[in-house]
Amino acid sequence: MSFYSVIEQYRDFDFEGYFAGVTEEMFRKSMHHAEEERCTGFDLLNFLSPRGDEHLEEMAVLAQKLTRHYFGRVVSLYQPIYLANYCCNGCVYCGFSSLNKIKRRQLTLDEIEKEAAEISKSQVRHILMLTGEAPGKSDFAYLKEAAAILKKYFDSVSVEVYPLSCEQYAELKAIGVDGLTIYQETYDEAVYDRLHLYGPKKDYRFRLDTPERGAKAGLRVIGIGALFGLGNPMRDGFFSAMHASYLLHHYPDTEVTLSVPRIKKAPETFPITKIVDDTDFVKLMVAFRLFLPRVGLNVSTREAPEFRNHIVGLGITKMSGGSKTDVGGYSGDNPSDEQFEISDERSVEEVAAMLKEEGFTPVYKDWWQLV
């Protein structure tokens, strides 16, 4: 069983031709399906088509209604911690790529403890543990020791590291890890192959099946998505949401979260298929909500403060705050270069204050951990 079988069904599908042929009647029928919460993949395509641009406000209103129904006015907060930025992959778009000459480092166990203690001074009790993809440097034994340290300080520990086996995810779960985040980057297999020049990440299928291995291991939360702009954004949006739907169907006890990270400007090293502007971002987000009313939607500090303020009411259920994307960034102890530039530099307290001002309740610890 693999989501790849779903991708294969659309191998020869003419996405651009279908998008161009979406009529007003087709769109209206899809909105009716969304109201009744019985959308199909074709409804998702209709939302992502240019016809959706014409009705973006209407889609946003319904998305807000569905979010209120299932999530209330609550937004969960989390923070990332970067343990290492060594990487053996040749990904032409990533700041950590081995192609780049950057300052690299890996935290010792004592330094992880120091970073964790600094982060825990905020009220946030959700941590996301990240490394570059260098199993020879940040080996599995190191990941387990790091997770055990973080578990002392945080109630929820998720990992965003190189793809692991089902058995390895089960070992992390036994330590206390409850979540996995991994992005396919682009679901277009041909584009994926061109962008990943060498290294273990070049294995499209192994990465694609990673969320399912985490779900099989019993991890509570699985976060997925694409890096929008690498491939056709609406095509990648379609497969991202279909992937989430697949996981929810096959692993109903698993909480699935979708993210919409985007490349805002084209690096000189490779061509971007399409710069994802704010309208595209909102369309992707509300289309996800209409298609999957109960899925979590995450927005990171890649986005500017004003934009995050404006979209929080349209479907967002999870946000980061006070983030650092360099190794050692919280304690300020010889930090490395950043993986990507942060646009929203507000502290956790400032993000929480914004949420309250917008009428939302910031949550630092999930309700399930209170029982």
- Integer Cα distance of 207 and 276 in angstroms: 24
The answer on pLDDT for 368 being more than 70 is: no
Residue-averaged pLDDT of the chain: 93
Over residues 187-216, the mean pLDDT reads 97
Residues in Cβ contact with 40 at an 8 Å cutoff, skipping those fewer than 6 apart: 33
pLDDT at 340: 60
Structure confidence by residue, pLDDT tens digits, 248-296: 999 999 999 999 999 876 566 677 777 899 999 999 999 999 999 999 9
- Integer Cα distance of 170 and 189 in angstroms: 28
Share of the chain above pLDDT 90, in %: 85
- Coil, strand or helix: which one is 37? coil
Distances (CA, A) of 6 to 122, 242, 292: 42, 8, 17
Query: How many CB atoms are located within 10 Å of the residue 148 CB?
Result: 16
Q: Which residues pair with 127 in a beta bridge?
A: 79, 157
pLDDT at 193: 96
pLDDT at 337: 56
CA dihedral over 339, 242, 165, 199, signed as positive or negative: negative
| Distance separating the N- and C-terminal Cα atoms of the chain | 34
Count CA within 13 A, CB hemisphere, residue 56: 14
Over residues 189-209, the mean pLDDT reads 96
- Integer Cα distance of 65 and 36 in angstroms: 12
pLDDT at 263: 87
Q: Which residues pair with 320 in a beta bridge?
A: 78
Q: 263 near 272, Cβ under 8 Å?
A: yes
- Integer Cα distance of 323 and 302 in angstroms: 10
Residues in Cβ contact with 267 at an 8 Å cutoff, skipping those fewer than 6 apart: 93
Q: 217 near 150, Cβ under 8 Å?
A: no
Q: 158 near 178, Cβ under 8 Å?
A: yes
pLDDT confidence band for 371 (50 / 70 / 90): very low
Q: Which amino acid, residue 263?
A: I
Structure confidence by residue, pLDDT tens digits, 337-362: 555 678 899 999 999 999 999 999 99
Cα–Cα–Cα angle for 50, 55, 58, nearest 5°?
150
Structure confidence by residue, pLDDT tens digits, 66-99: 999 999 999 999 999 999 999 999 999 888 888 8
- Residue for token pair 């793809």: 163
What phi and psi, each to the nearest 5 degrees, are found at residue 163?
A: -60, 135
- Integer Cα distance of 238 and 40 in angstroms: 11
